[in-house]
């Protein structure tokens, strides 16, 4: 009993103690050895899931889906009833091939975890001397370009102000020139001759009237040509749109020069001439009854006597001879086209 007691008191495993006891008690020792082996297998099977869960690494769904699990690993280990000796057919083979493709060296209960290693980020390239010089050159260019941009903007503003001043000066010069031309034109018009035409009774002759041309301007005028005509119509609206003369304009019989404020008779008309201008006595009667009217119209062309090569100016005139049964009269009338001044 010294040997078994020494083994029992030693820190060795219980299997050694059972083997020692087997030499003395063979059949009970064999049964105890079988039960011990079964307990060791069951403890090993139960400890594998706990060890897999104690690693602290969670299984990813991708790993579980990509690595299939062998059907045999999920089934519990077969147990042998007590009193029977395990045979070679039922004992698990440690060296035989496995049906699970993830376990090539033998049976396994759970597939190994699928570990994915991400590619680490590349280390930044060192900043070379050329890059440093380039960066310094860009900074210097920016520092030099900023004042240049400010100077350019200031110059552009000054050019814009000078352009605006120039435009204002040019506009003022154009206005002054326009005013000067207008003033010169007004001065030329102020000193030019103006011939106006008016109807007046002939002095000393009853029922006789004269068409008189008067120079209302400052400069003397020379009459170039005269034109006249007579029309008998119901109203001035029946007159032609533009004056129509039967004879071409003719120069006066004697040179006619009108000084400022001087006048001259260019046409006379008396009561006795009514019968000569009417075609028949019935027309004379219609004129006396004011069913028809006698209109005298014409034009006076003249030039400035002082200015050499001056333009020819023209003054139109139109008069209505009022023929009564005993007395007559004459007044200025007619549309604006017949009384045009240039």
Rounded CA separation 277/220 (Å): 35
pLDDT at residue number 110:
62
Our CA dihedral for 65, 67, 69, 70, rounded to 10 degrees, sits at 140
DSSP bridge partners of 293: 233
Query: How many angstroms separate the Cα of 298 from the Cα of each of 190, 195, 241, 339?
Result: 25, 13, 14, 9
Whether residue 172 has pLDDT greater than 60: yes
Residues 323/270, Cβ–Cβ less than 8 Å: no
pLDDT at 17 (0 to 100): 53
Cut 0.75: pTM above it:
no
* Whether the predicted pLDDT of 226 surpasses 60: yes
Average pLDDT of 266-294?
Answer: 88
- What is the residue-averaged pLDDT of the chain? 75
Band of pLDDT at residue 300, cut at 50, 70 and 90: very high
pLDDT digits (tens, 9 = 90+) for 243-264: 888 888 899 888 889 998 999 9
Tell me which residue of 236, 246, 229 sits closest to 297, measured CA to CA.
229
Q: What gap in Å lies between CA 50 and CA 48, rounded to an integer?
A: 5
In this prediction, residue 95 has a pLDDT band, given cuts at 50, 70 and 90, of very low
Residue in 265, 267, 258, 266 with CA at minimum distance from that of residue 215:
258
The span from the CA of 327 to the CA of 271, in Å, is 8
Write the burial class of residue 330 (CB in 10 Å: 0-12 exposed, 13-18 middle, 19+ buried).
buried
- 180 touches 300 (CB < 8 A): no
Residue bearing the bigger pLDDT, 236 or 33: 236
Q: Give the pLDDT of residue 67.
A: 39
Give the model's pLDDT for residue 305.
Answer: 84
Residue 126 pLDDT: 82
CA 185 to chain centre: 47
């Amino acid at each position: 009993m010294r040997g078994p007691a020494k083994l029992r008191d030693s820190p060795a495993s219980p299997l050694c103690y059972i083997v020692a006891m087997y030499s003395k008690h063979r059949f009970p020792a064999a049964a105890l050895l079988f039960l011990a082996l079964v307990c060791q297998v069951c403890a090993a099977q139960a400890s594998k899931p706990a060890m897999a869960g104690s690693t602290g690494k969670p299984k990813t769904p991708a790993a579980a889906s990509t690595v299939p699990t062998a059907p045999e690993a999920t089934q519990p280990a077969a147990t042998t009833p007590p009193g029977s000796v395990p045979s070679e057919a039922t004992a698990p083979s440690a060296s035989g091939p496995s049906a699970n493709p993830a376990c090539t060296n033998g049976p396994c209960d759970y597939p190994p975890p699928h570990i994915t290693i991400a590619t680490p980020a590349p280390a930044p390239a060192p900043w070379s001397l050329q890059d440093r010089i380039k960066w310094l050159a860009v900074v210097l260019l920016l520092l030099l370009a900023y004042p240049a941009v400010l100077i350019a903007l200031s110059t552009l503003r000054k050019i814009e102000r000078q352009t605006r001043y120039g435009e204002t000066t040019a506009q003022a010069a154009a206005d002054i020139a326009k005013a000067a031309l207008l003033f010169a034109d007004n001065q030329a018009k102020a000193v030019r001759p103006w011939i106006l035409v008016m109807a007046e009774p002939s002095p000393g002759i009853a029922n006789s009237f004269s068409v008189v041309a008067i120079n209302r301007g400052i400069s003397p005028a020379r009459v170039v040509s005269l034109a006249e005509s007579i029309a008998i119509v119901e109203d001035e609206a029946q007159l032609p749109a533009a004056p129509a003369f039967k004879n071409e304009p003719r120069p006066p019989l004697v040179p006619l020069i009108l000084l400022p404020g001087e006048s001259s008779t260019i046409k006379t008309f008396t009561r006795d001439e009514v019968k000569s201008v009417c075609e028949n006595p019935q027309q004379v009667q219609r004129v006396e009854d004011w069913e028809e009217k006698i209109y005298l119209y014409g034009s006076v062309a003249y030039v400035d006597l002082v200015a050499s090569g001056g333009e020819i100016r023209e003054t139109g005139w139109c008069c209505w001879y009022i023929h009564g049964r005993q007395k007559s009269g004459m007044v200025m009338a007619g549309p604006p086209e017949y009384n045009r001044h240039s």
